[in-house]
Amino acid sequence: MKNETTVRVTPEEMAAQARFAREFSALPERPKTYFIVTYGCQMNAHDSEKLAGMLEEMGLAPAPAREQADFVLHNTCCIRDNAERKALGNVTWLKEIKKERPEMLIGVCGCMVQEPGMAEKLLRQYPFVDVAFGTGNIHRLPELLYRAVETKRRVVSVPDEQSTLIEGLPIRRESPFQAYVTIMYGCNNFCSYCIVPYVRGRERSREMKDILAEVEGLQKKGVQEIMLLGQNVNSYGNDVPGGVTFPRLLHEVSRLGIPRIRFMTSHPKDLSDELIREMAENPALCRHLHLPVQSGSNRILEAMNRRYTRESYLEKVEKIRKAAPDVGLTTDLIVAFPGETDADFEDTMDLARRVCFDSAFTFIYSPREGTRAAKMPGRVDPALATERIERLIALQEEMTQKRFAEMIGKTESVLVTGQSRRNETQFTGKTSRNISVNFEGGADMIGKIVQVKITAASKTTLKGVVEGDA
């Protein structure tokens, strides 16, 4: 893939898209409602907020369900094979709905569409898809949908390069008190199993002034918590002249007055002492660090091209816990990577025991076409892979229970996010460590930070009682 120079989408291009939005809203046979189905990470979730913002500027209103919408857009993920199969299966399900409602338009966008050859596959195997576009031209949704409706022909547009930075897109945020803020796009790491650099492009950082302006606007609207997003936030600013760093950005963001700041995701090789100090000293930063280790085996880490060792990872964990003992660590773990032996897997189990993560996302290795790992020999037998993942999950559940038990009796700051799904008298929220807590409360608490004393723990959540507003 080319190492393209970052290109900012021009004001003229954004103005052209605004014209397409106005012209689309005047079309007599245009769709009136939309529904977006989102797969994958927080970055995709935030992209869907931007897509919704554009659609509403085009005059569409959200529909209560997919089958009732005039335009259904699937914002896809391709990080693992099952995510791709799930997305395509749900797109195919709409084929039957479209037979009953032929006026329905179906769109597919996101990382999966950006994969090499996927656009051609959509054209060939999914003739009922009306619009498809990649991650690099999300801002062109008004134009693409206008052309599909006006010409009554399929529109597929996937850019060759992923070097753009887009500012000024409208956003329909899902929550009035929590918000995503993207600080950078793309990834330069090329882990051997990962397709992200091929579908999201190389790293490109937003200018700090643009990020701060967005955060300031959110603060004025009363947002209580933001999550700063990037494939590798630790390398924010590496492509920007002037020595801008991620810890400096965190410091400047915190000065704007947002009560809680999160970020996702950190690559261990780029976790600096400066960032650890900022986490220890900055009270606005949530006490949670997601630090994907992927494997506990040095041999497998080298094959993954992770560019750190288990020893250096454990050293950074020790530094974090010495500087900020209240920070909860979470991680990602992959089992059955090509060539993984019993000894390699036991190294992963040993690392998980040593670190004792709050929680972990665990996966069986999924080959992605176009990555180096997909061509590696030594594919692990599926039955053995299942046995390993079950053992790892059982261990992590044990570690989670240990961490949760340590919190009983403590008082935690909790941002109340809504009513419990299982008990209408209870409400739920997240601690600063990103752990869910259920407690008795009232609807007036939603969107507020309250103090909750932890009284008990289940397998995945905490229970508590409210002591008072923060």
Q: What is the pLDDT of residue 163?
A: 63
Query: 307: phi > 0 → left, psi -120 to 50 → alpha, else beta; which?
Result: left
Q: What is the pLDDT of residue 5?
A: 54
Q: Is the pLDDT of residue 257 over 90?
A: yes
Contact 352, 396 (CB under 8 A): yes
Closest residue by Cα to residue 259 from 211, 208, 222: 222
Based on DSSP, count helices (H) and strands (E) in the chain, helices before strands: 14, 21
Q: What is the pLDDT of residue 1?
A: 35
Q: What is the pLDDT of residue 2?
A: 37
Average pLDDT of the residues in 419-441? 93
Enter the tokens of residue 444. Answer: 């007036």
Q: How many CA atoms lie less than 13 Å away from 365 in the CB half-sphere?
A: 30
| Domains of the chain, first to last | 7-164 (3.40.50.12160), 168-401 (3.80.30.20), 411-469 (2.40.50.140)
d(CA 229, CA 282): 19
| Residue type at 443 in one-letter notation | A
Q: Is 428 helix (H, G, I), strand (E, B) or coil?
A: strand
Contact 451, 412 (CB under 8 A): yes
Q: What is the pLDDT of residue 127?
A: 93
What is the tens place of the pLDDT at every residue in 19-54? Answer: 999 999 999 999 999 999 999 999 999 999 999 999
Place of tokens 């752990």: 435
Contact 172, 57 (CB under 8 A): no
What is the tens place of the pLDDT at every residue in 360-376? Answer: 999 999 999 889 999 99
Q: What is the mean pLDDT of the chain?
A: 94
d(CA 247, CA 345): 34
Enter the tokens of residue 33. Answer: 């409602």
Residues belonging to the chain: 470
Q: Is 118 helix (H, G, I), strand (E, B) or coil?
A: helix
Contact 40, 231 (CB under 8 A): no
Contact 238, 273 (CB under 8 A): no
What is the tens place of the pLDDT at every residue in 84-95? Answer: 888 999 999 999
Q: What is the pLDDT of residue 4?
A: 47
Angle at 328 between CA 467 and CA 310, to 5 degrees: 170
Q: Which residues pair with 133 in a beta bridge?
A: 109, 157
Q: Is 331 helix (H, G, I), strand (E, B) or coil?
A: strand
Q: Is the pLDDT of residue 164 over 90?
A: no
Strand extents, DSSP E, 183-327: 184-185, 204-205, 225-229, 260-264, 288-290
Contact 131, 155 (CB under 8 A): yes
- Backbone φ and ψ of 361, nearest 5°: -90, 120
Contact 232, 210 (CB under 8 A): no
What is the distance between the terminal CA atoms of the chain, rounded to a whole angstrom? 50
- Backbone φ and ψ of 116, nearest 5°: -55, 125
